[in-house]
Chains A and B, each alone.
Chain A
Amino acid sequence: MESAPNDQRPEHILKLSQEQRRRFLNSFDRVFSDIDGVVWCMEYDIPGVADGYSALQGMGKELSFITNNSVRSMEQYERRFQKLGIKVGESELWHPAQSIVEYLRRIKFDGLIYIIASEPFKSVLRKAGFQLLDGPNEFIKENFGSLAKHIFDREPVRAVILDVDFNLTSPKVLRAHIYLRHPDCLLIHGATDTMLPVGNDLRIIGPGPFQKILVEATGKPGATLGKPGKELGEILLQHYNIRDPKRVLMIGDMLEQDVQFGRQCGFQTLLVLSGGCTLSELRAESSPERLPDYYADSVADLAKLVNDVAKAHV
């Protein structure tokens, strides 16, 4: 057994024995890491994480980042990674807008898209050559005639995409539903979070509940290209040509979006307590599909682990 058995409570990586630490570090070749709450928190940095990632890279581990946050632009991500001294190429940064582009290309999608999402998200799709419709982008007149004018539309929309939109309104949701009545119109979800941390002490209702309205009204479950979506997992496995998912370590701070996603894909999982989950929440988790194999205070603990193992080796 290379990883901790599923029915055991997760172990803190710094409480592992020397032998267990060595085995753990040798049990994976590739690391997928979440960003918010792991690399940094919204409005502050987490000390020591750059050392953690560079220790893994120093051991030859392949490193990619997978976030559910498409509200930030690629340039903003790159700038912040650079500032922290973490080396990561643009192609190793996955967020739902990017994953949806890859998904649409794989299914050879060629049609009109109606989208409810942030501007940075939409610009990723436009840059990739997709044709988008959106709106209404202002409040409509309060009567049924105006509602009809805004939601009934004869454009041949063949995909509806829903991610985080600070300006989400009911006419947008109603309009999406009308397009989805067409049997060939796909429903595609980005992030599916129910509550979404967007700043210090600021959590908003995420896209999940609005996606649920569309799923229930149309009977279409939709494809999910944010964590913990099945379709995102399939794309990653294909893209990196992963034959043995057990040799991948998923690092994240959320039990559902990161741990459950990782387990679903067959990866090993490491929960860090530097973001959205506390030790008591971890201890209270009873569902086996959300229990990580390991946990740590933060990614900084990985640097310590790698150094200790290296020292013991000398």
Chain B
Amino acid sequence: MNYLQTKGGSTSTPSKPKYLKDLNAEQLQTFCTSFDTVFCDCDGVVWYTLGDFIPGSADAIRQLQLQGKQLTFVTNNSICSVERHIQRFARAQLKIDKQQIVHPAQTVCDYLKSQNFEGLIYCLATASFKELLLSQGFHLVPEQQDGVQIKNLCDLRSAIQAEHQVKAVIIDVDFNMSLAKIMRAYQYLQNPQCLFIAGAADGVVPFGAGEVIGPGAFIDIVALAAGRQPVVLGKPGAGLMPILRERHVGSPPARVLFIGDSPGSDIVFARQCGYQTLLVLSGGVCAADVALDDQSAPDYVTDCLGDLTNFI
């Protein structure tokens, strides 16, 4: 409750989520003029994780641009590079600038540079994430013979051997997170000088019909074993907050609208930032699962991003 009072949203009272379709013309008008900045998730909001644009979303983005809203895409998807995000937008005739995309791999690189980081990195993430680090001059622990079956203690010992002098452990989405990798990360983190950084840290991710377990669950295991918490630079990490704040210096958090499909990572995170929140149901979460009164309850709900054009 205390939490809700400190929230800077302009939606006055911590009330039940409002469905856009239930608002009258005047309320919609008020809603539309209540924000200048829009932070928008991509997967499940702009396009389906596994495929095409969600019908109507490109038009809605165009309309937000026409209305002069400051538009930034805040994705947790490092499987797809910043360039590929831009290309994907371009295919729908949307001109989105590099600066308009907040992407965990890029955020992690920026953070390392801000720390004047030098040294070897143990990175548990996708190939595209690692390529970005390498292209920006960072050095990674060479890949193990990944996927080798561990049959006995001898195999286990060699699979978890952490012989390198590692100065940072970075964890993001790793499609093949394994016990051996977690053990190596844990061992590197025994050195208090070794940085611990996480990108995307969703506990669960909307995928298919519902939610699947996300990278946050595995990051927590490393954190618990190592007895220390990472700097989390993807959603819903506190480390991302100052980075987003710099993007709306002129307007207060209450005049920011955050649009996402994940109650656990988008909405909880945005509420902590004091932003207004709009949950779209195009990612996998259904109306019955929308929380009514906890930290993951959004201010507004609608079926998909395209509704912004339909209703407004």
The reply to whether B210 and A181 form a contact with Cβ atoms under 8 Å apart is yes
Q: Give every chain A residue within 8 A of B25 (Cβ-Cβ).
A: none
Q: How large is the interface on A (under 10, 10 to 19, 20 to 34, 35 or more residues)?
A: 35 or more
The reply to whether B150 and A170 form a contact with Cβ atoms under 8 Å apart is no
The reply to whether A170 and B225 form a contact with Cβ atoms under 8 Å apart is no
- Of the candidates B50, B127, B221, the one whose C-beta lies within 8 Å of that of A205 is B221
Question: Which residue of chain A has the shortest Cβ distance to B154 in the bound complex?
Answer: A199
The reply to whether A213 and B213 form a contact with Cβ atoms under 8 Å apart is yes
The reply to whether A170 and B153 form a contact with Cβ atoms under 8 Å apart is no
The reply to whether A202 and B157 form a contact with Cβ atoms under 8 Å apart is yes
Question: Which residue of chain B has the shortest Cβ distance to A166 in the bound complex?
Answer: B150
The reply to whether B175 and A137 form a contact with Cβ atoms under 8 Å apart is no
Question: Which residue of chain A has the shortest Cβ distance to B225 in the bound complex?
Answer: A205
The answer to whether the Cβ of B112 comes within 8 Å of any Cβ in the partner chain is no
Question: Which residue of chain A has the shortest Cβ distance to B179 in the bound complex?
Answer: A168
Q: Give every chain A residue within 8 A of B212 (Cβ-Cβ).
A: 151, 174, 177-178
Known: A167-B149, A174-B212. A205 touches B183 (CB 8 A): yes
Binds B, one of A80-88, A139-147, A227-235, A298-306: A139-147
The reply to whether A143 and B157 form a contact with Cβ atoms under 8 Å apart is no
Number of A-B contacts (CB under 8 A): 97
The reply to whether B176 and A166 form a contact with Cβ atoms under 8 Å apart is no
The answer to whether the Cβ of B11 comes within 8 Å of any Cβ in the partner chain is no
The reply to whether B178 and A170 form a contact with Cβ atoms under 8 Å apart is yes
Looking at B160, B180, B212, B218, which has the most chain A CB atoms within 10 Å of its CB? B212
Known: A148-B208, A195-B225, A199-B157. A138 touches B175 (CB 8 A): no
User: What is the interface of chain A, defined by CB distance below 8 A to chain B?
Assistant: 137-148, 151-152, 165-171, 173-174, 177-178, 181, 194-195, 198-199, 202, 204-205, 209-210, 213, 216-217
User: What is the interface of chain B, defined by CB distance below 8 A to chain A?
Assistant: 49-50, 79, 126-127, 146-147, 149-150, 153, 155-157, 159-160, 174-180, 182-183, 186, 204, 207-208, 210, 212-213, 217-218, 220-221, 224-225
8 A-B residue contacts at CB 8 Å? A144-B207, A145-B50, A151-B212, A168-B179, A169-B178, A202-B157, A204-B160, A209-B220
A169-B179, A173-B213, A210-B221 known; 18 new pairs, CB 8 Å cut-off, are: A137-B149, A140-B176, A141-B175, A142-B79, A147-B207, A148-B50, A151-B212, A166-B155, A168-B178, A170-B174, A171-B175, A198-B156, A202-B157, A204-B160, A204-B179, A209-B221, A213-B221, A217-B217
